[in-house]
């Protein structure tokens, strides 16, 4: 039996892998099930009811507006100061308009597959990426911690081959799991949209865009799994990867944000990893600098900075290559006795 097949079987039989898989499936199923109850397909009766409520609220606002004007004019006739209480011209310039009471604001929530499913692709990717990180870190971390890596190298003394095969087994597993669960995730939300939402305007171009979103999600899950594997291999322990992840999050999301705020750096969020994750999934992330606006001179457009998915690919690619190179270099150089 080849080393690759052996590592695949070992990964699949690990209790951590099976436990995390059960938790992942249950979590995704819970999200999809709970969300299905929040959406309601809009019927002609529901639309008519919303239109009636909107018109009723408009008429109520008009009645109140007219009553307030009459009350103001009566007070003005008695010589009272009405501007402080009713505003200039007794509020006649603030007549309610029909577009302030649009029927769509009174409709129950309806899931729109075309507009909203890309967000759920990101949710799915984050869930599978977490699975991949923990399973990948524990896969190699436990081997170092229990001495299994040393025993394996006695049987197959090629260090880089062993580590590379383990990584390949992990990525193959995460790849297959992402594809299968991704297909089920898409089917589940398509069913929700068909039965309790809307599948309107689903053209071939939209499906192509969703497919590209899925590829980005797949790339992210593989990247996170590989980084978790590399960090645990560097530290010879699963806790090394988990601790490094917490540290990176704290530095990026808290430390850097505080530092750029204190230093007054323009578009400080461009140095934060979550900005690049957002850009990766949404194709771009636009940052705003409202300090450039002079609101005393009226409304103005703030300065903007665009982070593209290509920039995100470079950032994450560099991080991945750096982690893997460090892991394989230390594997080759370190004393494993």
Same domain, 233 and 124: yes
pTM (two decimals): 0.82
Quick one: pLDDT at residue 331?
82
Same domain, 188 and 318: yes
Q: Which of 63-67, 187-191, 297-301, 333-337 has the highest mean pLDDT?
A: 187-191
CA atoms within 13 A on the CB side of 238: 14
Quick one: pLDDT at residue 310?
93
Same domain, 69 and 163: no
Residue 55 sits in which domain range?
44-106
Averaged pLDDT for residues 25-51: 89
pLDDT in tens, 174-225: 999 999 999 999 999 999 999 988 898 899 999 999 999 999 999 999 999 9
Same domain, 76 and 16: no
Same domain, 177 and 241: yes
Same domain, 232 and 185: yes
Of 106, 137, 155, which residue sits at a domain end? 106
* CA dist., res. 337 & res. 214, Å (int): 43
Same domain, 216 and 329: yes
Token pair for 52: 């009636």
Same domain, 22 and 56: no
pLDDT in tens, 132-175: 999 999 988 877 777 766 766 667 677 788 888 999 999 999 99
Same domain, 34 and 80: no
Of 106, 127, 148, which residue sits at a domain end? 106
Same domain, 284 and 227: yes
Q: Count the domains in the chain.
A: 2
Q: Which of 14-18, 74-78, 329-333 has the highest mean pLDDT?
A: 14-18
Of 70, 85, 106, which residue sits at a domain end? 106
Same domain, 184 and 237: yes
Residue whose C-alpha is closest to residue 198's, from 92, 114, 122: 114
């Amino acid at each position: 039996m080849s080393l690759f097949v052996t590592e695949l079987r070992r990964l699949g039989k690990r209790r951590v892998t099976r436990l995390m898989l059960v938790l992942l499936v249950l979590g995704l199923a819970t999200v999809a099930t709970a969300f299905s109850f929040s959406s309601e397909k809009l019927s002609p009766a529901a639309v008519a009811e919303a239109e009636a409520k909107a018109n009723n609220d408009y008429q109520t606002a008009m009645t109140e507006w007219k009553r307030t004007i009459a009350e103001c004019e009566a007070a003005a006739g008695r010589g009272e100061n009405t501007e402080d209480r009713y505003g200039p011209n007794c509020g006649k310039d603030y007549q309610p308009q029909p577009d302030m009471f649009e029927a769509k604001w009174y409709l129950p929530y309806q899931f729109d597959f075309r507009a909203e499913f890309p967000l759920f692709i990101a949710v799915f990717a984050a869930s599978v990426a977490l699975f991949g990180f923990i399973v990948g870190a524990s896969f190699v971390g436990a081997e170092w911690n229990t001495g299994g890596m040393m025993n394996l190298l006695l049987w197959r003394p090629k260090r880089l081959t062993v580590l590379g095969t383990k990584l390949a087994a992990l990525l193959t597993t995460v790849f297959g799991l992402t594809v299968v669960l991704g297909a089920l995730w898409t089917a589940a939300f398509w069913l929700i949209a068909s039965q309790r939402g809307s599948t309107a305007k689903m053209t071939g171009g939209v499906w192509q865009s969703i497919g590209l979103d899925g590829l980005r999600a797949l790339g992210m899950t593989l990247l996170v799994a590989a980084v978790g594997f590399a960090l645990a291999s560097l530290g010879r322990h699963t806790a090394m990867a988990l601790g490094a992840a917490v540290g990176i999050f704290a530095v990026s999301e808290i430390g850097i944000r505080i530092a750029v705020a204190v230093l007054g750096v323009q578009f400080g969020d461009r140095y934060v990893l979550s900005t690049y994750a957002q850009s990766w999934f949404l194709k771009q992330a636009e940052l705003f600098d409202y300090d450039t606006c002079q609101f005393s001179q009226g409304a103005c457009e703030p300065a903007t900075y665009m982070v593209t998915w290509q920039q995100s690919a470079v950032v994450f690619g560099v991080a991945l290559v750096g982690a893997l190179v460090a892991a394989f270099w230390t594997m080759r150089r370190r004393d494993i006795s």
